[in-house]
Structure 1
Amino acid sequence: DTLRLVYERNEGDLTMGTLVDSLPNEVPLIRDRNMYTLGVESLLAYYGLDSSAVEIQDDGKHFVMKGKDGSTLVDCELTEKQFLEVNWFSKWTEEIIELKLMIEAKRAYGDENYEKYLELIPSILMNFLNRVDNLEDKMASEPEDSPSLLKSFWYWLSGTSAKVPNASALLEEMRNLGLDENLITQAEKLLDNDNFEEIPSFDQLTQIVDGIAYYFIPPSLESPFNPMCGMRDVLQNAKFQDQVSSTIQLLEEKIEFLEGPGAMGKIEKALLEQPENETLLAKKKEVEAAISTNKSNLAEQKDELSIINEFFACFENAIVLIGPEEKTFQDLAPTPFDDASVPKVCVHGNLIKTLTNDLFISRYPKVVDYAVTLIICVIMALLAVYQGNRASFINSLGILFLIGYVYLGFLVFEKTQTVWPIATPACAGLSTSFIGLGVMVVIEQKAKSRMKGMFGSYVSSDLVEQMVEKGKEPSLGGEETSITAFFSDVQAFSSFSELLSPTGLVDLMNEYLTAMTDILTKEKGTLDKYIGDAIVAMYGAPLPMDNHAYQAVKTALLMQQEQLRLREKWSTEADTWGECHDLVCKMQTRIGCNTGTATVGNMGAKDRFNYTMMGDMVNLAARCESGAKAYGAYIMITEETKLASEQHKDDIDFRDIAFRFLDRIVVKGRSQPVAMYEPTGFMDELSQETQDCLDCFSHGIEKYLAQDWDAAL
Structure 2
Amino acid sequence: MIGNLKNSLSANPGIASVLEPKLKASEAEKTALYSELASFVGDDARVAELREQIEKAEGSLEKLEIQAKEYADLNNLQVARASTKARLALLQADFDSTKLLEADDRLRLVYSGAQFGELNGTLVQSLPNEMPLVRDRRFYTLGMETLLAYYGLDDKHVHVSEDMKNLQVIGRDGVKLIDAPLKDGQFVEVNWFSKWTEPVPEKVNLKKALDFFNEQSFDEYVELVPQILRAALSRVKGLQLPENDSDLPSVLPQLKQKVNEGNVVAANQFMQALAGEIPVKKAPDYEKLHDLYHAISLNFMPPELTAAYNPMCSIYEVHYLDNALFRAEEMLRELRAKSKVIETRLISIRKLLKNLPENHPKAAEFREAIRKGEVIDKQNLAKESIVLEKINDLKATDLFDQFENAIVFVGPEEKTLQDLAPTPFDVKPVPKVSVHGNIVKTLTSGLYLKRFPLWVDHAATLAFCLLLAYFAVYSGAHSHLVQGLSVVLQLIYVVVTFYVFAQSHYVLPVAVPSLAGLSTTFLGVVVTLVLEQKAKGRLKGMFGSYVSQDLVDQMIDSGEEPSLGGEETKITAYFSDVQAFSSFSELLSPTGLVDLMNEYLTAMTNILQEERGTLDKYIGDAIVAMYGAPIPMDDHAYQSVRTALLMQVRQSELREKWASEGDKWPDIVRKMQTRIGCNTGTATVGNMGALDRFNYTMMGDMVNLAARCESGAKAYGAYIMITEETKDASIATKDDIAYRYLDKIVVKGRTQPVAMYEPTGFMADLGQETQDCLDCFQQGIDKYLLQDWDGAMEMFEKAKELEPNKPGITPGVKDNPSMMLIERCMAMKWNPPGDDWDGVFVMTSK
C-alpha RMSD of matched pairs (Å): 5.1
The amino acid that maps onto 1:190 is F
- CA distance in 2 between partners of 1:352 and 1:49 (Å): 15
TM-score, structure 1 normalization: 0.55
Structure 2 gaps of 5+ residues are 1-103, 109-115, 120-128, 351-367, 573-627, 640-678, 687-698, 711-721, 733-751, 755-846
- CA distance in 2 between partners of 1:402 and 1:364 (Å): 20
- CA distance in 2 between partners of 1:379 and 1:126 (Å): 57
Aligned residue number for residue 182 of structure 1: 262
The amino acid that maps onto 1:175 is P
Aligned residue number for residue 371 of structure 1: 459
TM-score, structure 2 normalization: 0.47
Alignment of 1:428-467 (within 5 A): 428-451=516-539, 454=543, 457=547, 461=551, 465=555
Aligned residue number for residue 682 of structure 1: none
Structure 1 pair 377/190, CA: closer, same or farther in 2 (3 Å)? Answer: same
Aligned residue number for residue 400 of structure 2: 312
The amino acid that maps onto 1:95 is P
Structure 1 gaps of 5+ residues are 5-10, 15-25, 140-146, 150-164, 267-278, 486-520, 544-596, 609-613, 626-667, 671-713
- The CA deviation string for residues 196-253 of structure 1, in whole angstroms up to 9 with x for no partner, is 5544332222111110111111111111111111222223323333444566789999
Deviation at 1:383, TM superposition (A): 0.6
Q: 2:250 aligns with which of 168, 172, 189?
A: 172
Aligned residue number for residue 301 of structure 1: 390
Structure 1 pair 350/541, CA: closer, same or farther in 2 (3 Å)? Answer: farther
Alignment of 1:313-712 (within 5 A): 313-451=401-539, 454=543, 457=547, 461=551, 465=555, 469-473=559-563, 527=634, 529=636
- CA distance in 2 between partners of 1:424 and 1:219 (Å): 41
Structure 1 pair 171/472, CA: closer, same or farther in 2 (3 Å)? Answer: same
Alignment of 1:213-228 (within 5 A): 213-228=297-312
Deviation at 1:604, TM superposition (A): 5.3
Check whether the contact 2:157–2:170 (CA below 8 A) recurs between aligned residues.
yes
Structure 1 pair 480/417, CA: closer, same or farther in 2 (3 Å)? Answer: closer
Aligned residue number for residue 46 of structure 1: 150
Structure having the higher Rg: 2
- CA distance in 2 between partners of 1:89 and 1:3 (Å): 39
Structure 1 pair 204/302, CA: closer, same or farther in 2 (3 Å)? Answer: closer
- CA distance in 2 between partners of 1:57 and 1:343 (Å): 33
* Structure 1 position 148 matched with structure 2 position 243: yes
Q: Which moved more, 1:451-460 or 1:411-420?
A: 451-460
Check whether the contact 1:3–1:27 (CA below 8 A) recurs between aligned residues.
yes
Check whether the contact 1:448–1:468 (CA below 8 A) recurs between aligned residues.
no
3-state SS of 2:177 partner: strand
Deviation at 1:86, TM superposition (A): 1.0
The amino acid that maps onto 2:457 is D
Check whether the contact 2:298–2:394 (CA below 8 A) recurs between aligned residues.
no
Alignment of 1:229-308 (within 5 A): 229-244=313-328, 297=386, 300-301=389-390, 304-308=393-397
- CA distance in 2 between partners of 1:538 and 1:418 (Å): 66
3-state SS of 2:139 partner: coil
* Structure 1 position 125 matched with structure 2 position 229: yes
- CA distance in 2 between partners of 1:68 and 1:615 (Å): 106
Structure 1 pair 56/111, CA: closer, same or farther in 2 (3 Å)? Answer: same
- CA distance in 2 between partners of 1:356 and 1:188 (Å): 50
The amino acid that maps onto 1:182 is G
The amino acid that maps onto 1:148 is E
Deviation at 1:304, TM superposition (A): 1.4
Deviation at 1:459, TM superposition (A): 11
3-state SS of 1:112 partner: coil
The amino acid that maps onto 1:172 is S
Deviation at 1:74, TM superposition (A): 0.8
- CA distance in 2 between partners of 1:182 and 1:212 (Å): 13
The amino acid that maps onto 1:388 is G
Aligned residue number for residue 137 of structure 2: 33
Q: Whose helix proportion is higher, 1 or 2?
A: 2
3-state SS of 1:64 partner: strand
3-state SS of 1:350 partner: helix
Check whether the contact 1:215–1:307 (CA below 8 A) recurs between aligned residues.
no
The amino acid that maps onto 1:213 is S
* Structure 1 position 70 matched with structure 2 position 177: no
- CA distance in 2 between partners of 1:402 and 1:171 (Å): 56
Aligned residue number for residue 208 of structure 1: 292
Check whether the contact 1:480–1:600 (CA below 8 A) recurs between aligned residues.
no
3-state SS of 1:527 partner: coil
The amino acid that maps onto 2:559 is E
* Structure 1 position 107 matched with structure 2 position 211: yes
- CA distance in 2 between partners of 1:400 and 1:38 (Å): 44
Deviation at 1:457, TM superposition (A): 3.3
- CA distance in 1 between partners of 2:163 and 2:476 (Å): 57
Deviation at 1:326, TM superposition (A): 1.9
Deviation at 1:475, TM superposition (A): 6.2
- CA distance in 1 between partners of 2:682 and 2:462 (Å): 44
- CA distance in 2 between partners of 1:103 and 1:181 (Å): 25
The amino acid that maps onto 1:99 is K
Deviation at 1:62, TM superposition (A): 1.5
Deviation at 1:444, TM superposition (A): 2.0
Deviation at 1:39, TM superposition (A): 0.6
Deviation at 1:345, TM superposition (A): 0.8
The amino acid that maps onto 1:171 is P
Structure 1 pair 217/85, CA: closer, same or farther in 2 (3 Å)? Answer: same
Deviation at 1:111, TM superposition (A): 2.5
- CA distance in 2 between partners of 1:201 and 1:603 (Å): 99
- The CA deviation string for residues 571-608 of structure 1, in whole angstroms up to 9 with x for no partner, is xxxxxxxxxxxxxxxxxxxxxxxxxx9868899579x9
- CA distance in 2 between partners of 1:605 and 1:427 (Å): 61
- CA distance in 2 between partners of 1:251 and 1:439 (Å): 91
The amino acid that maps onto 1:385 is V
The amino acid that maps onto 1:312 is F
The amino acid that maps onto 2:543 is M
- The CA deviation string for residues 492-534 of structure 1, in whole angstroms up to 9 with x for no partner, is xxxxxxxxxxxxxxxxxxxxxxxxxxxxx9xx997365779xx
The amino acid that maps onto 1:472 is P
Deviation at 1:289, TM superposition (A): 10
Check whether the contact 1:244–1:305 (CA below 8 A) recurs between aligned residues.
no
Deviation at 1:108, TM superposition (A): 2.0
Aligned residue number for residue 640 of structure 1: none
Structure 1 pair 604/47, CA: closer, same or farther in 2 (3 Å)? Answer: farther
- CA distance in 1 between partners of 2:204 and 2:490 (Å): 39
Deviation at 1:134, TM superposition (A): 2.1
Structure 1 pair 424/387, CA: closer, same or farther in 2 (3 Å)? Answer: same
**Number of aligned residue pairs:** 460
Deviation at 1:362, TM superposition (A): 2.7
- The CA deviation string for residues 142-170 of structure 1, in whole angstroms up to 9 with x for no partner, is xxxxx525xxxxxxxxxxxxxxx22xx02
The amino acid that maps onto 2:253 is R
Aligned residue number for residue 194 of structure 2: 90
Aligned residue number for residue 156 of structure 1: none
Aligned residue number for residue 644 of structure 1: none
- CA distance in 2 between partners of 1:603 and 1:291 (Å): 127
- CA distance in 2 between partners of 1:191 and 1:603 (Å): 96
The amino acid that maps onto 1:174 is L
Check whether the contact 1:373–1:428 (CA below 8 A) recurs between aligned residues.
yes
